[in-house]
Structure 1
Amino acid sequence: MKISTHSNSNFIKKIIEKDLKDKKYLSLQTRFPPEPNGYLHIGHAKSICLNFGLAQYYKGKCNLRFDDTNPIKENIEYIHAIKKDIKWLGFKWNGEILYSSKYFNILNKYAIELINKGLAYVDKLNKEEIRKYRGTLKTPGINSPYRNQSIAENILLFKKMKNGHFPTGSVCLRAKINMNSPFMIMRDPVLYRIIFSKHHQTQDKWCIYPTYDFSHCISDALEGITHSICTLEFQDNRRLYDWILNHITIQHHPNQYEYSRLNLEYTILSKRKLNILVTNKIVNGWDDPRMPTLSGLRRRGYTPSSIRKFCDNIGITKQDNLIETSSLESCIRDELNKTAPRNMAVLNPIKILLCNLPENYQEIFMVPNHPANNRMGFRPLLFTNELYIDYFDFYEVDNNKNYGLILGKEIRLRYGYIIKAIEVKKDNNNNIVQIICTCDKNTLGKNPKNRQVKGVIHWLSTKNTLPAFFHLYEKLFTIKNPEKEKDFLNYVNPKSFLIKKGFVELNIKKINNIFQFEREGYFCIDKNDKNTDLIFNKIINLSNTNKKIDKK
């Protein structure tokens, strides 16, 4: 499958084209290097589309490499989920899956090389002391008292680290750069730390693990990456990226380029914070349809093509901005408007009785599966004297703003006749249980003159229904930029999830996954294996202004 997500030019594309034209590289080699410490989200989709898309566009290759340098936070479940998400988006990685842990022996040798060059030392300061000695943006750092240990002593201490002679957090290996640097990342950063935890790839072989900054640049170089692309928060890290590669004996030296990360309204795009939502059971797992994870969006009903289109639309720049959620929503809405078959569903059912039709009355209407595409065919829709309509389409009193079935007024049934509400039946608690109507059999496909028919409503015959649950979703947060809030959980939307119990057409084709329920929105069948009921997840409204307002 040919996928192009780079119809628009951007600064990275221009750099690549110049490098290829100048024959700096014979071919493009990119990589996507996720940490297996959570599920991928829509922000990762931007990186996936960029790295895999560029490789495809320029007939190069893109590696999938797991940055698995912290076994405490990693899980094989996340690895499987990440592989699934990349395939779902429509991309294929080059060759076998790679892991930073594959290079642990080589990384260890390069660490020893830096020690032997007097460029790294084993520090016995604890984590808090290291932070304090590092200084601030306004004050310079202070050299560690262990900074000037002899090379021989550092070699011995590093060997002891590797052999498990020190407890977690007691010592670490640091680069010896410049504690007075204006860039905090260059103030003797940590290269190796002690972690006693079983690793999903190397098991118990190692108890020291390289930091991301140390392993990432070397892994890029070992794989022959030509353009190492990351987000702007790693801009200062590029100095350390280059410093490490410049001070070890490695042949290839990739260049790092940064672009702005994706920021989306009403959304958290931090795996750490998303994990808090999951572990605190604020959402029902990583694939909760309210989550911005790719598995959540997939379960919500978003398609790979709509995600790719969104990433293409927002482009690649160095400018940080907050993207409107409508930009993502319009991509799926535009696609489903063309592809989703139409069906009837009643989410808040209330019965109406057509009193001038006999009890056993039945009629079949042949209705289109798509009003603008006859190639999608037609389906039979049963019409009887007893129907369901949506409760919120009925009004006892006309206030001249209502567009529904109003007591004493006429309305047209979608694909059917004009009906008129003449009576309301209620229970002892004053709840409406049935609406008595008349049906004008002379109005099928006709618009009688001199009759004011106020709108069209959807319906289902009570003899042509299948019970179903409808999961309705709203934004997970109540403010536009929860990412900036320290106490972001205070802004979780308590009304982000609502369940309705209603009906769909009896002959709904379950081979289809996504439908437009007329006047309600786009829905997909929930694919959770735990479900025994028929559940539809709402993907999106028909339009930005198409939301129904419940009557109180």
Structure 2
Amino acid sequence: AEEMREYRGTLTEPGKNSPYRDRSVEENLDLFYKMRDGAFPDGSKTLRLKIDMTSGNVNMRDPVIYRIRRAHHHNTGDKWCIYPMYDYTHAISDAIEGITHSLCTLEFEAHRPLYDWVLDNIPAPHPTRPRQYEFSRLELLYSITSKRKLNQLVSDGHVSGWDDPRMPTISGMRRRGYTPEGLRLFAKRAGISKSENVVDMSVLEGAIREELENSAPRLMAVLNPIKVTLTNFSDGLTQSRSAPFHPHHEEMGEREVPIAKTIYIEADDFSENLPAGWQRLTVGGEVRLRYSYVIKCDEAVKDGNGNIVELKCSIDHDTLGKKPEGRKVKGVIHWVSAEHAAEIKVRLYERLFTVERPDAVRGEDGAYLPFTDFLNPESAKEITAYAEATAGNLPAESRWQFERLGYFVTDRRDHRPDAPVFNRTVGLKDTWQK
């Protein structure tokens, strides 16, 4: 290795020929077969292309194409102890597979002459010659795309695996609930460039959200429940209603939304200290239950520590499917019947890092800080929640909108109909900056 570095030259000085450059074909073949058969230790010999040691492109200065490395391979096991270099196999595999456009990131631009040289010196097995095109890598803020660094996250246990829903991998994005259509929309919006292409995470989330808006059916779920007792509930008088799975797609069908004496609403939908513009529930105030009645909160029940544990509310039975007379009720909240609800596990995900460019932060001495210093400790949380009964009878990878909360998908690995597990894909709007 030291000799090769010495002979290679620099960006301004040409290299010089190796003393072994003019060996005969027969001698080279004999040595190459011995390399293959394990006659030499790792790193002791390489096979190089004979191109031009004076080339202005250092990649063309007799590059290595085979090296000795005794490493276990996931396909061939321990059968081989020599392996080809990427720059050599790239062009050959493209030619064999019939590739027409080989798309690479900008760091391979200086390697293109070698790609073309290899194609010029092998018998192409097809009539269409591959061509390499380079463009800038697409980088996401609050994420990393380096395979080495992603592998470190997995190996060090910072994530659960390559398919962790926080990972920017195909398997991770699939498990998160991202759709192929949403990813294609994102790629179209991000575009292709020769200059640095750094895209905010909100662009990706916006594309996924826009696609799911039209394709995901709806149901109601309560993630942070507070018990509500409907004091004047009556089996003979209080009625349930049906509701569509999607307001703009009748073909998705509808479901029954049952009501019972005890329901759950989001704790955030009740407040004793009303902020400006409050349109949800408070003592003495009214809201409409989505797809159901207007209710009025008559009492907030507290425990010994002053925490609200129950709301006692009354139903206006004349408001099923119509406006109440003589008053205006602005707020509409989601809810589930305690009697009919399915208990579900919900995994809530946020961005994996707390800074935009976690691998580009420098310390006071100017050195880059470890990107793992900026992992978001709140990036994953699992809670128990309640949802409409439909949630207890779904296959894996079933995408839904939880009304007023966001888009969720049944986990492709852990979900079972008798033990539902939902991953949050994306919220209904971008709330990260808030």
User: What TM-score bracket applies, with the shorter chain setting the length?
Assistant: 0.7 to 0.9
Q: Which runs of 5+ in 1 are unaligned?
A: 1-124
Measured after TM superposition, the shift of residue 261 of structure 1 is 2.9
After superposition, residues 326-365 of structure 1 pair within 5 angstroms as 326-358=202-234, 362-365=238-241
Q: How far does the alpha carbon of each residue in 1:172-211 deviate from its partner, in whole angstroms, 9 at most, with x for none?
A: 2233445554433234322111011344444444321110
Contact 1:473 1:498 in 2 (8 A): yes
Amino acid corresponding to residue 420 of structure 1 in structure 2: K
Q: Which residue of 256, 259, 267 maps to 2:143?
A: 267
| Structure-1 residue corresponding to 2:309 | 433
- The 1:131–1:428 alpha-carbon spacing in structure 2 relative to 1, beyond 3 Å, is farther
Contact 1:269 1:483 in 2 (8 A): no
Q: How far does the alpha carbon of each residue in 1:96-147 deviate from its partner, in whole angstroms, 9 at most, with x for none?
A: xxxxxxxxxxxxxxxxxxxxxxxxxxxxx36xx645765655x647647645
* In structure 2, C-alpha distance between the alignment counterparts of 1:493 and 1:257, rounded to whole Å: 36
After superposition, residues 102-121 of structure 1 pair within 5 angstroms as none
- The answer to whether residue 411 in structure 2 is matched with residue 542 in structure 1 is no
Q: Which runs of 5+ in 2 are unaligned?
A: 362-367
Q: Which residue of 255, 262, 278 maps to 1:386?
A: 262
Q: Which residue of 516, 525, 532 maps to 2:401?
A: 516
| Structure-1 residue corresponding to 2:365 | none
- The 1:453–1:131 alpha-carbon spacing in structure 2 relative to 1, beyond 3 Å, is farther
Per the normalisation by structure 1, the TM-score is 0.69
Q: Which residue of 232, 235, 251 maps to 2:109?
A: 235
Contact 1:360 1:385 in 2 (8 A): no
Q: Which residue of 193, 217, 220 maps to 2:91?
A: 217
- The answer to whether residue 378 in structure 2 is matched with residue 492 in structure 1 is no
| Structure-2 residue corresponding to 1:254 | 130
| Structure-1 residue corresponding to 2:411 | 526
Q: How far does the alpha carbon of each residue in 1:72-108 deviate from its partner, in whole angstroms, 9 at most, with x for none?
A: xxxxxxxxxxxxxxxxxxxxxxxxxxxxxxxxxxxxx
| Structure-2 residue corresponding to 1:158 | 32
* In structure 2, C-alpha distance between the alignment counterparts of 1:254 and 1:372, rounded to whole Å: 46
Identity percentage of aligned residues: 48
| Structure-1 residue corresponding to 2:351 | 475
Measured after TM superposition, the shift of residue 468 of structure 1 is 0.5
* In structure 2, C-alpha distance between the alignment counterparts of 1:236 and 1:202, rounded to whole Å: 31
* In structure 2, C-alpha distance between the alignment counterparts of 1:260 and 1:510, rounded to whole Å: 41
* In structure 1, C-alpha distance between the alignment counterparts of 2:256 and 2:99, rounded to whole Å: 58
* In structure 1, C-alpha distance between the alignment counterparts of 2:300 and 2:60, rounded to whole Å: 77
- The 1:479–1:181 alpha-carbon spacing in structure 2 relative to 1, beyond 3 Å, is farther
Measured after TM superposition, the shift of residue 411 of structure 1 is 1.6
Name the SS for the 1:276 alignment partner: helix
- The 1:379–1:244 alpha-carbon spacing in structure 2 relative to 1, beyond 3 Å, is closer
Measured after TM superposition, the shift of residue 298 of structure 1 is 1.5
- The answer to whether residue 269 in structure 2 is matched with residue 405 in structure 1 is no
Return 460-469 or 164-173, whichever deviates more. 164-173
Q: Which residue of 150, 157, 178 maps to 1:281?
A: 157
Contact 2:9 2:16 in 1 (8 A): no
* In structure 2, C-alpha distance between the alignment counterparts of 1:525 and 1:484, rounded to whole Å: 35
| Structure-2 residue corresponding to 1:501 | 384
* In structure 2, C-alpha distance between the alignment counterparts of 1:207 and 1:308, rounded to whole Å: 40
Contact 1:161 1:208 in 2 (8 A): yes
- The 1:442–1:359 alpha-carbon spacing in structure 2 relative to 1, beyond 3 Å, is closer
Contact 2:69 2:82 in 1 (8 A): yes
Return 456-465 or 248-257, whichever deviates more. 248-257
Q: How far does the alpha carbon of each residue in 1:308-340 deviate from its partner, in whole angstroms, 9 at most, with x for none?
A: 333344344434311233332233322222222
- The answer to whether residue 370 in structure 2 is matched with residue 465 in structure 1 is no
Contact 1:360 1:384 in 2 (8 A): no
Name the SS for the 2:65 alignment partner: strand
Q: Number of residues paired by the alignment?
A: 421
Amino acid corresponding to residue 401 of structure 2 in structure 1: Q
- The 1:418–1:242 alpha-carbon spacing in structure 2 relative to 1, beyond 3 Å, is same
Measured after TM superposition, the shift of residue 395 of structure 1 is 0.6
Contact 2:21 2:50 in 1 (8 A): no
* In structure 1, C-alpha distance between the alignment counterparts of 2:228 and 2:92, rounded to whole Å: 71
Measured after TM superposition, the shift of residue 425 of structure 1 is 1.4
After superposition, residues 151-190 of structure 1 pair within 5 angstroms as 151=24, 154-179=28-53, 181-190=55-64
* In structure 2, C-alpha distance between the alignment counterparts of 1:180 and 1:493, rounded to whole Å: 50
Q: Which residue of 51, 76, 80 maps to 1:206?
A: 80
Measured after TM superposition, the shift of residue 446 of structure 1 is 3.1
Contact 1:140 1:181 in 2 (8 A): no
Per the normalisation by structure 2, the TM-score is 0.86
* In structure 1, C-alpha distance between the alignment counterparts of 2:265 and 2:234, rounded to whole Å: 19
Amino acid corresponding to residue 410 of structure 2 in structure 1: I
Measured after TM superposition, the shift of residue 154 of structure 1 is 4.7
* In structure 1, C-alpha distance between the alignment counterparts of 2:42 and 2:83, rounded to whole Å: 11
Contact 1:362 1:385 in 2 (8 A): no
Q: How far does the alpha carbon of each residue in 1:212-263 deviate from its partner, in whole angstroms, 9 at most, with x for none?
A: 1112222333455444333322111111112333455668753322233322
Contact 1:520 1:542 in 2 (8 A): yes
Name the SS for the 2:35 alignment partner: helix
Q: How far does the alpha carbon of each residue in 1:479-516 deviate from its partner, in whole angstroms, 9 at most, with x for none?
A: 22335455222222221112121101124452581111
Measured after TM superposition, the shift of residue 360 of structure 1 is 8.8
Measured after TM superposition, the shift of residue 369 of structure 1 is 1.6
- The 1:355–1:254 alpha-carbon spacing in structure 2 relative to 1, beyond 3 Å, is closer
Amino acid corresponding to residue 309 of structure 1 in structure 2: L
Measured after TM superposition, the shift of residue 457 of structure 1 is 0.8
Contact 2:344 2:386 in 1 (8 A): yes
Measured after TM superposition, the shift of residue 296 of structure 1 is 1.4
* In structure 2, C-alpha distance between the alignment counterparts of 1:257 and 1:490, rounded to whole Å: 36
* In structure 2, C-alpha distance between the alignment counterparts of 1:220 and 1:378, rounded to whole Å: 50
Contact 1:194 1:209 in 2 (8 A): yes
Measured after TM superposition, the shift of residue 157 of structure 1 is 3.7
* In structure 1, C-alpha distance between the alignment counterparts of 2:21 and 2:255, rounded to whole Å: 82
